[in-house]
Amino acid sequence: MKIAIAGYGAEGKANYTYWNTLENSLTIVDEREELVDIPKDAATILGEGAFSKLADFDLVVRTASLRPDKIVTNGKVWSSTNEFFAKCPAPIIGVTGTKGKGTTCSLISSILRAAGKTVHLVGNIGVPALGELEKIEPTDIVVFELSSFQLWDIQKSPQTAVILKIEQDHMDVHHGIDEYITAKAQIARFMSADQTVYYHPTFAYSRQAATMYGKAMAKRYGVKDEDSTYVEDGWFMKGDEQICETSVMQIPGEHNIENACAAISVAYEYMQDHSAVKDGLAGFAGLPHRLKFIREVGGVQYFDDSYSSAPSAAIAAIRAHKEPQVLLLGGYDKGASFEELAAEIMKSTVKHVVIYGQTKQAIRDALVGAGLTDETSFTMLDTTNFEEIVQYASDKASAGDVVVLSPACASFDMFKNFTQRGEQFIAILNSL
C-alpha cells in the first residue's frame, strides 16, 4: 500500500514506525522545508503546499493538528487515533475538554490501578497510542486523552467518555467556536444507548457537545441527582454514601476537585472500591508543569503552571491561591479572549501582573477594559529574555506572596513547547 505520513512530529514518527512494513511504501510529508531524524533513504514531500500533493496515495495518515481539509488526495484519510480505536482489544475511556484532560486521565488511571486493574494511559498526554497497542490485553483498560484535533474525524467512540469544561481555544486552527465544539462532540458520536458520556455540570458548551448526537446516556459529574460523584461537607460522595475525604488529594485547586469528581464517576463504571479511590487520589502528586510547587525563596513560593495555554487555566490557577500573587501572563496568540481572565484578576488576590510575549498588548487592553487602570498593578515587558521576565516578577514579590507562571497562552512565540517553557522557569528559579 502506498501511504503518506502527513506531519512528522512525535506522532508522525510513531505513525511511520507503525506502518513501516514490507507491504507498505511510505512517504513522509510535511510543510516544513527541513526535518530532523528522518529514517535513512525515506521518501519525502516537503515544503509549502505539501499536503495538496497527495492525489496518488492509497492512505494518508494525518497527524492530529493537521486539518483534514488541508489534505488533497484520492485515497483514504486516516489517523493514528482511528487506527488505535479500530484495533484496540480493550475498553477505552476517552477524555476531552479544553483544560484538565491530562490530570483527569491520570486520576482515572491512578484509581483503577489502585483497584488492581492494568491501565494504559495514552494519547494527547504524550504517549503515542499506537506504540502501546501490542501491549494491550482484552482484560486491560485504556485511558485516552483526546484533543479536538484527534476527534475531528474519529470513526469510533470510546466505551465511556468524559467532556470537561469547554471554552474557546485553538481558534488559530479551528474556524470558530462551533467547529471546536463539534469536534469535541465526536467523542460520543458513535456511542450506544447503554454507554455513558459524563460532562461538566455548569458549562453550556460541554452540555452541547455531550448531547449533540443524543445516543449515549449524558450525565453531569459533580451532581448528586445524576448518580455521579459529587462533593458534600469535604467528602466525595456517591448517592448518600461517603467515599473519602477531599483532603486526601495532593494537587491544589477547586478545579482539581471537579476533575476528581469526573475521574471517580468514570472509575465506578469499572470498579466499586472506596479504598481504591482514596489510594488513587492520594497517590497522584500531579503532572509536570500543572500548578506545581517548585521552591520557596525568601518567604516567596513559586509555582510552575506552564501547561496553562488558555485563559481558563490561568483563572483556575488564580483561584487556587489565597495569598497575594504575582502572575506571569503571555505568549503565543491562539485567538483567545482575555476579558474573563481580566475580570477574575480584578476580584482576586493578584497584586501584580507581569505581561510579556506576543499577546502582551491584548492582555493589557483586557486588564484596562476590566478597570485595572493603575499601571503600578501590571507591567508590560518588551524583552523576550525569559530570565529577565522571571527576575522582574520575583522582584515584585514579598515574603508571604506566591509567584505563579500561568501564561494563559501557548508557548510557541518564545519556546518550542510548554515543557521547555516550564523547564526554563524551574532552572531560573533554582538559580535565584
pLDDT-based confidence at 91, cuts 50/70/90? Answer: very high
pLDDT-based confidence at 175, cuts 50/70/90? Answer: confident
Q: What is the CATH number of the domain that holds 203?
A: 3.40.1190.10
Instruction: Report d(CA 327, CA 403) in Å as an integer.
Output: 6
- Residues 123, 179, single domain; the answer is yes
pLDDT at 145 over 90: yes
Query: What is the pLDDT averaged over residues 152-164?
Result: 97
Q: Which of 249, 282, 315 is the last residue of a domain?
A: 282
- Residues 68, 86, single domain; the answer is no
Query: What is the pLDDT averaged over residues 387-415?
Result: 97
User: What is the total count of domains within the chain?
Assistant: 3
Q: What is the CATH number of the domain that holds 319?
A: 3.90.190.20
pLDDT per residue as tens digits for the range 184-221: 999 999 999 999 999 999 999 999 999 999 999 999 99
Query: What is the pLDDT averaged over residues 280-287?
Result: 94
- In which residue are the cell numbers 502501546 written? 132
Taking the CA atoms of the chain, what radius of gyration do you get in angstroms? 22
338, three cell numbers: 482575555
- Residues 245, 323, single domain; the answer is no
- Residues 66, 155, single domain; the answer is no
Instruction: Report d(CA 414, CA 328) in Å as an integer.
Output: 14
By the 8 A CB rule, do 229 and 237 touch? yes
pLDDT at 334 over 90: no
pLDDT at 351 over 90: yes
pLDDT at 7 over 90: yes
pTM over 0.85: yes
- Residues 118, 259, single domain; the answer is yes
- Residues 308, 366, single domain; the answer is yes
Q: Which of 45, 74, 103 is the last residue of a domain?
A: 74
- Residues 228, 316, single domain; the answer is no
Instruction: Report d(CA 342, CA 25) in Å as an integer.
Output: 52
Q: Which of 282, 307, 331 is the last residue of a domain?
A: 282
- pLDDT above 90 coverage of the chain, percent: 90
Q: What one-letter code names the amino acid at 137?
A: E
Q: How many residues does the chain have?
A: 432
- Residues 94, 237, single domain; the answer is yes
- Residues 207, 301, single domain; the answer is no
- Alpha-carbon separation of residue 224 from 14, 121, 193, 265, 290 (angstroms): 42, 28, 22, 11, 28
In a domain, 331, yes or no: yes
Give pLDDT, residue 171.
Answer: 78
- Residue 316: which domain range? 292-430
In a domain, 405, yes or no: yes
Give pLDDT, residue 10.
Answer: 87
- Residues 259, 375, single domain; the answer is no
pLDDT at 62 over 90: yes
Give pLDDT, residue 373.
Answer: 83
**Neighbouring-strand partners of residue 217:** 196
307, three cell numbers: 501547561
Q: What is the CATH number of the domain that holds 16?
A: 3.40.50
In a domain, 23, yes or no: yes
- Residues 163, 303, single domain; the answer is no
Query: What is the pLDDT averaged over residues 133-147?
Result: 97
In a domain, 287, yes or no: no
Instruction: Report d(CA 331, CA 356) in Å as an integer.
Output: 7
- Residues 318, 352, single domain; the answer is yes
Instruction: Report d(CA 162, CA 146) in Å as an integer.
Output: 10
